[in-house]
Structure 1
Amino acid sequence: METVLQSFFASVPQATALWLAILLAIAVAAVFVALPRSAPAEPLTPAQRDRLRFADEVAVAAERAAATAARLRAEWATAQEEVDAAWLAFDEADRHARLTTRAAAFPLMSRRRKPGENADRQRYLHHTAIAACRNREISIAQLNDVLAHRGWNPRLHPVVQEGLLRNAVREHRLAQYEQAQKREQAAWHESELAAEALRSLRAEAAAAIVRAAAAEQPAGDEWFADQWATGEMPGATKAYA
């Protein structure tokens, strides 16, 4: 009897450990069963595939529009720099023209010209005008007028000719500044159009993504009615019985 009791008490810890292991296994299984599982992905309907395809196309168009907008914005910035440079060139030409005009205000001594002096003055005018055109201070059209003596008197004193040339440079710089302003305005207009197109495409791309992600909704009672034949509609058999 004493041996049986000793065997019983000796097996109690082992049985307790076994029951604890069983309970722990049951608890783990219950937790695993209670964990939420992701539902299998449902196949996309043709309408959803079309929406996804359209969203991808709009996204690609938006990326291209972004590149175009960035390029036109850079061109506008370049046009602004050209306007600033043209204004500085005009301001410098205007300053030189004013200085030359003030210097020409003093009367020149009238004396008899030496033989060949008129030819020297003409060569001086042509040489100075060609150098100014080479430096892009006057235009080709202005140089042609000088060489053809259209509005230019080659027999004038070099001081007077210098003043006239400085005025021609100022006119050319002013024309360049006005042209730069027109290019800058055109570049700004193109940049604004590209930015507006980009905003519209991005909004359309976001809306297309939302539509593509949304689940396809039934069309209402008429849709359900079309899915059932007359004999298959609930209560139809009872009504005609």
Structure 2
Amino acid sequence: MQTVFSTVLPDIPAAAVIWLALLAVAATVVAALIVRPSRFRSELVDRISDAARPSSIDQAERARVQDRERDRYADEVAVAAARAAATAERSRAEWLTAQEEAEVAWQTYQAAEDDVRRLAAAAALPLPRTARTPAEYADRERWLHRAAMDAQWRNEITVRQLSDILGGNGWDPSRHPVEQELLLRRLVRDNLAARHRAATQREQAAWQAAERAAAAAQSLRDEVFAALHPVVEPQAELSIVGFAGPDTTRELPTGTAGADITRELSPVARGRAAVAA
């Protein structure tokens, strides 16, 4: 009857050979790590990077998807840019119109100012004497009302001001026509000055709106160009930091390995010597 030892003993030499072979392989790997850790690490990193990097088919599909998304986004931004450009053109046209209105208001105000100066010089002279009769006062009142209605028809005074003149609110119809005309021209001048200030403010607001619209249109055009011409950034390869452990604190091996490391570091020593010289 065979025992357990009689069954196992014949297989011990084969098992010993297998274990010795595994130990030899492990020792070889450990020796390679000790002698050339950088080469082993670089090869391992390259293999891991190749394995982690997507395949060419995946990259092509991803590129097609990105191109479609980029084209769709560029089309949307292009539509927005066209609308912004139309808004900018309309804003510029409004600004030019406001500028012309401000210029016309300024010229009208200058003409009114000239009339006031002329009438002020005339009023400084002695006024002609007239008979102070009810008929004379009635003629002066009719002249004032007619001059006020003409000024309102020319849109030089407001309806409220015309009502004050016709009603005698702050106006004396019995004064001489030269004085009445001077007062009326001053009122017209003040109204035109206020209109010129309002036109100037509208012109400035229109100019600022046109500038903002032009800047928005330019920004959208730049965004369309950036979407159609993207900047390709280099892809960083996968790296493993400290895979073989800290190299700076390890003692340098002696013998052949030390000579190899010295040969690898020799270009750095020559570079330092050249800089120091």
The TM tier, using the shorter chain, reads: 0.5 to 0.7
Number of aligned residues: 179
- Greater Cα offset, 165-174 or 45-54: 45-54
Give, in whole Å, the separation in 2 of the partners of 1:115 and 1:155: 10
The answer to whether 1:100 aligns with 2:119 is: yes
The answer to whether 1:119 aligns with 2:118 is: no
The answer to whether 1:200 aligns with 2:205 is: no
State the Cα distance separating 1:186 from its structure 2 match.
0.5
Give, in whole Å, the separation in 2 of the partners of 1:58 and 1:48: 15
Identity of aligned residues (%): 47
State the Cα distance separating 1:115 from its structure 2 match.
2.5
Q: Secondary structure at the match of 1:82?
A: helix
Q: Which residue of 1 aligns with 2:26?
A: none
Q: Which residue of 1 aligns with 2:151?
A: 132
In structure 2, list runs of 5 or more residues that go unmatched. Answer: 1-59, 240-277
Q: Which residue of 2 aligns with 1:160?
A: 179
Give, in whole Å, the separation in 2 of the partners of 1:221 and 1:61: 40
State the Cα distance separating 1:86 from its structure 2 match.
0.8
Give, in whole Å, the separation in 2 of the partners of 1:220 and 1:82: 65
TM-score where L is the length of structure 2: 0.59
Counterparts in 2 of 1:62 and 1:111: CA distance versus 1, 3 Å: closer
State the Cα distance separating 1:144 from its structure 2 match.
2.3
State the Cα distance separating 1:60 from its structure 2 match.
1.1
In structure 1, list runs of 5 or more residues that go unmatched. Answer: 1-41, 223-241
Q: Larger Cα Rg: Structure 1 or Structure 2?
A: 2
Q: Please give the per-residue CA displacement for 1:28-81, whole angstroms capped at 9, x wherever unaligned.
A: xxxxxxxxxxxxxx7773332121111001011111111111111111111111
Give, in whole Å, the separation in 2 of the partners of 1:61 and 1:118: 69
- Greater Cα offset, 141-150 or 152-161: 141-150
State the Cα distance separating 1:174 from its structure 2 match.
0.7
Q: Please give the per-residue CA displacement for 1:132-157, whole angstroms capped at 9, x wherever unaligned.
A: 11012222232222123222111111
Counterparts in 2 of 1:220 and 1:59: CA distance versus 1, 3 Å: farther
What is the root-mean-square deviation in Å for CA atoms of aligned residues?
2.4
Give, in whole Å, the separation in 2 of the partners of 1:189 and 1:148: 44
Q: Secondary structure at the match of 1:46?
A: helix
Q: Which residue of 2 aligns with 1:186?
A: 205
Counterparts in 2 of 1:111 and 1:120: CA distance versus 1, 3 Å: closer
Structure 1 segments of 4+ aligned residues over 4 angstroms from their partners: 109-112, 217-222
